[in-house]
Amino acid sequence: MIIRDFGQSKIYKLYAETSEMFYIGSTCIKNLHNRLSKHKTEAKNAPSSVLSKFILDQPSKSLQIELVAEFPDFAEESELTRAKKEYLENMPEIDRVNCINFMKKYTLGNDKASKELNTNKKELIKIRNRVNRLIKQAESSDDDSDDYSE
């Protein structure tokens, strides 16, 4: 039986320097580099998951892991699970396009990968356009309010 120390709870970001995509994970492993090594081993042993395909598709040395948040007061797995879920739910839409946690598929080296990438790009363009419209609206309302403040 593995005993986990939830006082070591943390959320991390796994990414590759060669890609815009990333994964948000959670762990109780003290050293994040050990968690990265475990991800690499898991990817080789179970290459069918979305995350495993992403890891296997990257040059090994380009994979990075960084701390997002620590939770030294956690005592149970449910607290860490809830914290990760909240982090993902609060992630800006524009970042979700490249977040592996939100992907259903990550296909390597065939037409499906190209189609999926194009779908992601189209979604990103829609989100960016919506953000730009909102920014313009906010700026225009700021300009209007400046006219009346004198």
Query: For 38-83, what is each residue's pLDDT tens digit?
Result: 999 999 898 878 888 889 888 888 999 999 999 999 999 999 999 9
pLDDT digits (tens, 9 = 90+) for 91-119: 998 888 889 988 875 544 444 544 555 55
Break the chain into its structural domains and give their ranges. 6-106
- Structure tokens that stand for 125 in this block: 């363009």
pTM beyond cutoff 0.85: no
pLDDT at 127 over 90: no
CA neighbor of 103 nearest in space, from 5, 13, 24, 18: 24
Mean pLDDT over the full length of the chain: 83
Q: In 3-state terms, what secondary structure has residue 19? A: coil
How many whole angstroms separate alpha carbon 38 and alpha carbon 30?
Answer: 13
Strand partners, 14: 23, 65
- How many residues would you count in the chain? 150
- pLDDT at position 109 is 44
Q: Which DSSP category does 100 fall into?
A: G
How many whole angstroms separate alpha carbon 123 and alpha carbon 41?
Answer: 32
Q: In 3-state terms, what secondary structure has residue 10? A: strand
Cβ atoms < 10 Å from Cβ of 52:
18
- 98 vs 126 pLDDT, higher one: 98
